[in-house]
Each structure stands twice: as C-alpha cells, then as structure tokens.
Amino acid sequence: MSTLQLLLVAWGVVTAALICVLIYRSSVATHEEDQLFLDDAEAALASEQRAVVARLDKLRRPITVLTVVSGALLIVIAGLWLYQGLKSF
C-alpha cells in the first residue's frame, strides 16, 4: 500500500468518525429548547435542558479536533498527489 493510499484510508476513517459525531450532536440538539418559561413546578425540565447543553458542550472539542485533522489530512493528500504528479511529469 502506498503512502497516498494509507493517507486516504486515514482521512476516510477520521471523516467517518466526524460524520458520526455530527449526527449524534444533531440528535442530541433536537432535545434542546431555545427558550424556556418555567415555574417552580417544572424545575425538572430546566435540569434536563442543562444536561442537554452539557452534552453538547462536551462534543464541541472532539468535533473541532476531528474537523482540523480531517482538513489537515486532506491538504497533505492533495500536496502529496501534486508532488507525485509533478515528479512523474
């Protein structure tokens, strides 16, 4: 397996993981409310919303890391592909 193929496989794995995390985040975000007007009897709903927001905040860092790694791998792949093309030109 060539270096380019290994990088393409790595990029595919990282991008697939990113897509899975984004799908999970969107499924969690469907339970998030933009505004809540609660009285004292509905305090449990407020704690549920805080839990949803906490889960969304936990996902922010992995999404950022996976996005940066996916982009960096794509740039490296493009550079290597151009280099190999120019070398054989």
- Give residue 11's pLDDT band: very low, low, confident or very high (50, 70, 90): very high
Predicted TM-score (pTM) of the model is 0.84
Is 86 part of a structural domain of the chain?
no
| Residues 58, 63: Cα–Cα separation, whole Å | 9
pLDDT at res. 13: 98
For residue 20, give its domain range. Answer: 3-32+41-76
Question: Is the pLDDT score of 34 beyond 80?
Answer: no
Q: Report which DSSP code applies to 88.
A: T
What 3-state class would DSSP assign to 18? helix
For residue 20, the number of C-alpha atoms closer than 13 Å in the C-beta half-sphere is 6
pLDDT at res. 8: 97
Number of separate domains in the chain:
1
pLDDT at res. 58: 95
Residue 50 CA: distances (Å) to CA of 39, 54, 61:
16, 6, 18
pLDDT at res. 36: 65
Is 83 part of a structural domain of the chain?
no
pLDDT averaged over every residue in the chain? 91
